[in-house]
Structure 1
């Protein structure tokens, strides 16, 4: 996939040709200008979505018209929505990130249908399409029984959110043009999570929620959500996430990528900035005061350290001890409270409440074990809070649905691991390991947290799986096979290589 405009954008362009001179004022410029002005006026009068549409048209559309866009640009817009807008705000019909994800799905679909050049495909694409098909099947299954109004609305919303997240995976896996653009996207992901952590640190220190100032007009807050909670007389903060648990798991997922960029950056300001991001994420994570976050962090660090040499492990271990000692002095009580969460877990009412519901969970599973009760129809407010994504998935889409989700995760992990094993560049190998660590951190949280019920964690996980597919495609796939496919289409291996914009590697390296 080349770096020319068509390849970078996946077969679509974001703006028309830019004229070098000043065009005469006539119908060619007056008509688009009039349509734009009319759209601004009309959107301002529509309720309740008018203010949000007005902001989109006035602030985003002109920028999109003058900028050159590609898949990474579309995914960057998604990151801005995921992390820049508090997850506790919604449009009513769904969260803003749902529309951003559906936009990414639309970009992928248009690019796929209009791109006639043969392109390498990672196994992530096939696994994600299978996942989308089964999600739609799981939604249809819900209507084989009598549903409440709440179940219907929640099922529709959850189905759209999951398909939108799958669209993010497809766009990342198929349409990222080169390794440099992949790094750009992942660095922006780390930057977005650093922003979330910085907001949370301010929330903890000053008991003030700055995320309310980053909400576009037209959105309203979920009455049940709060950015600052309390546990053992300490603040539990969430940043722009929907809950402190989600906040902690999110930081654990992205910390391996932050460490990767800090260790691979060139000396100077770029490395200093990268380590500052690691520090902010590391400081913010314990402020969630969450067992799920600590579990995810432990998995992520173990996986990352497994790919290091002994010297790097010793250096990191010493740095971690120093950081822990500093944090314990600077923020007293937090680490002790987290320690007590594990030591006295048997006496924690929240843990007892989860396990007491397990007999009812198995009864619900036994009623529909194969395909479940329907995607999104297990509404905690109508039934009970589960805090276990594995069990929740079985309830909603059955054992077969859980198998499809696990297969999708395994394919993503296999692509990242395959890239690590077969890539020549050590930086590529380390990036593959970091993506594996991030995905496994999310998987670990599924045992103690309803992961897919929260937007930031869900979309970050789907993005990481997509980036695993992109890394496999860009660095570890067998270029000879794709070159032969392109040559069969264009009639010349040389033309095929030039069209795709990637060198032909030998032995899959």
Structure 2
């Protein structure tokens, strides 16, 4: 009973983390704490404290087994700390010292939420609670963004929290091609797109698998997030959602794929009718080429950024010190190359790959179709977030960074849970066919007639 309560507490804690991340305006901070004064960062630091206290006070050894996500995180943090120490020993300009302190604290906070999820979730019940929370916040973000798109107003500038302050010139919505680029509670439309692309594959998969729930409650989030993604007027959001969709497709049967294609065409047709001119604007985002100022501003800064790398190419100049006033490259991977060097970037990529690998392995080892589909969704969600980081400096935005490290923790926990379920399942059941045996799928079952036709491999 105590273990069950602890597992529920972890899921509840993470749900609150998602709420303070996605339902509190990103511009609100405790000004005295600087860049670490956001509620999402403070809550993640509590997660780190909880994880450390658990490690100190636990009386039983941890279960033996490979934990690639946690190993990759430890190595990445070691390089970040070493880079910070070297930078402080050599001396940093005054305008970089505070961002370096804040950057290291934020890295530790994100590590805290990753570790709490990775080690704290012990069964699928807690995992499903967190996945539903991701969908809930994705739906909230999508609906608020749609309202901003329709009204052309921020709708959140009136929100205040005692003890917290916001920038007086804060404006989180933009206009592109005559259409409003919504951002919901995010500080930028790109960050808004990360939340949508992360939650979309989870929402779609839960709608297909959680068939005992009300039909509207399952499919309304999918529709809201899909429509909001198209209306985001953002290249990165569209690319990320498309990548997530493409990753989900191999896990479906041919009949399910046909339904998905028809639904996609129907969505495009509805957008064409309701918002004339939007599809032309979206097409122009991908055909404008070098004439787009948002593209040229990125590429023009690459040479400057690479020139700054020459001082310390191995471990960089410390995380958080590549300030926007130097140059804006809108590429988190290039930013990490400058701040943490080749070693730091390599380990950050290894961290992402470890999460993707865990989700992929979990899908192959899953003992039932629900977990198989959920593993594919986590793989798609994590891949979508990773792609968006090539289009903007995602670790400078609280929602984007939170979603990345949260999904990395989920991927690690998912693989461990699946392995434990497979180990505990009787041999007779393990060798019997399990694909397509989930009751209640009916016409929306992703496998035709309950038989694996090989297309899901």
Q: TM-score, normalised by structure 1?
A: 0.79
The alpha-carbon distance between structure 1 residues 360 and 174, as it changes in their structure 2 partners (threshold 3 A), is same
Q: How does 1:51-130 map to 2 (within 5 A)?
A: 70-92=9-31, 93=33, 94=36, 95-120=38-63, 122-130=67-75
The C-alpha deviation readout for 1:17-65, integer Å capped at 9, x for no partner, is xxxxxxxxxxxxxxxxxxxxxxxxxxxxxxxxxxxxxxxxxxxxxxxxx
Q: Distance in 2 between matches of 1:206 and 1:329?
A: 18
1:241 aligns with 2:186: yes
Partners of 2:258 and 2:59 lie apart in 1 by 51
Indicate conservation of the 8 Å contact 2:87/2:318, yes or no: yes
Residue 247 of structure 1 contacts residue 285 of structure 1 at CA under 8 Å; is this kept in 2?
Answer: no
Residue 18 (structure 2) pairs with residue 5 (structure 1) = no
Specify whether residues 443 and 434 from structure 1 end up closer, same or farther in structure 2 by C-alpha distance, changes over 3 A only.
Answer: same
Superposed displacement of residue 222, structure 1: 3.0
TM-score, structure 2 normalization: 0.88
Give the aligned partner of residue 287 of structure 1: 231
Say whether the 8 Å CA contact 2:79–2:315 is kept in structure 1.
Answer: no
SS in 2 for 1:89: coil
Partner in structure 1 of residue 206 of structure 2:
261
Written as runs of structure 1 = structure 2, the 5 A alignment for 1:379-398 is 379-381=323-325, 383-398=326-341
Structure-1 separation of matches of 2:136 and 2:388: 22
> Partner residue of 2:446?
none
Structure with the greater alpha carbon radius of gyration: 1
**What's the CA shift string for 1:228-252, capped at 9, x where partnerless?**
2111222111001120011112211
Give 1:444's match in structure 2, choosing from 381, 384, 387.
387
The Cα shift of 1:333 comes to: 2.7
Asked whether the equivalents of residues 176 and 470 of structure 1 are also in contact (C-alpha less than 8 Å), the reply is: yes
What is the CA–CA distance in structure 2 between the aligned matches of 1:133 and 1:279, rounded to whole Å?
Answer: 42
1:15-54 matches, within 5 Å, as: none
For 1:298, the equivalent position in structure 2 comes to 242
Three-state SS of the structure 2 residue aligned to 1:235 is: strand
Distance 1:79 1:135 in 2: 25
> Does structure 2 conserve the Cα–Cα contact (< 8 Å) formed by 1:305 and 1:313?
yes
The one of 300, 313, 318 aligned to 1:374 = 318
| Equivalent residue runs for 1:264-343 within 5 Å | 264-267=209-212, 269=214, 271-343=215-287
Q: How far does residue 323 in structure 1 lie from its aligned partner after superposition?
A: 0.8
CA distance in 2, matches of 1:461, 1:395: 20
The 8 Å contact of residues 356 and 411 in structure 2, kept in 1 or not, is answered as yes
Aligned residues: 424
1:415-434 equivalences in 2 (<5 Å): 415-434=358-377
| 8 Å contact kept, 1:84–1:214 | no
Q: Could you report, residue by residue, the CA deviation over 1:58-91 in whole angstroms, capped at 9, with x for unpaired residues?
A: xxxxxxxxxxx61111111211110110112211
Q: How far apart are 1:213 and its partner, in Å?
A: 4.9
Tell me, in whole angstroms, the C-alpha distance in 2 between the residues paired with 1:361 and 1:421.
41
- Could you list the structure 1 runs, at least 4 aligned residues long, displaced by more than 6 angstroms after superposition: none
Deviations 1:148-185 (A, max 9, x none): 22211112112211211111110101011310111011
Deviation at 1:224, TM superposition (A): 5.7
Q: 5+ unaligned residues in a row in structure 2: which ranges?
A: 431-457
Larger displacement relative to structure 2 (347-356 or 112-121): 112-121
**Offset from partner CA, 1:129-160 (integer Å, 9 cap, x none):** 22332222232232244422221111211221
Evaluate the alpha carbon distance shift between residue 335 and residue 224 of structure 1 in structure 2; reply closer, same or farther with a 3 A threshold.
farther
Aligned in 2, Cα 1:88/1:286: closer, same or farther, shift over 3 Å?
Answer: farther
RMSD: 2.1
Aligned equivalents of 1:84 and 1:385: distance in 2?
28
Distance 1:407 1:401 in 2: 10
Q: 1:183 aligns with which of 101, 105, 128?
A: 128
1:191-202 aligned at under 5 Å gives the runs 191-202=136-147
Task: Determine which of 201, 204, 209 is the counterpart of 2:154.
Answer: 209
3-state SS, counterpart of residue 392 of structure 2 = coil
Counterpart residue number, 2:345? 402
Q: In structure 2, how many angstroms separate the alpha carbons of the residues matched to 1:185 and 1:441?
A: 18
1:267-326 per-position Cα deviation (integer Å, ceiling 9, x unaligned): 551x32121001111121123211111221221111111222211111101101101110
Q: Which residue of 1 aligns with 2:97?
A: 152
Q: CA deviation at 1:479?
A: 6.7
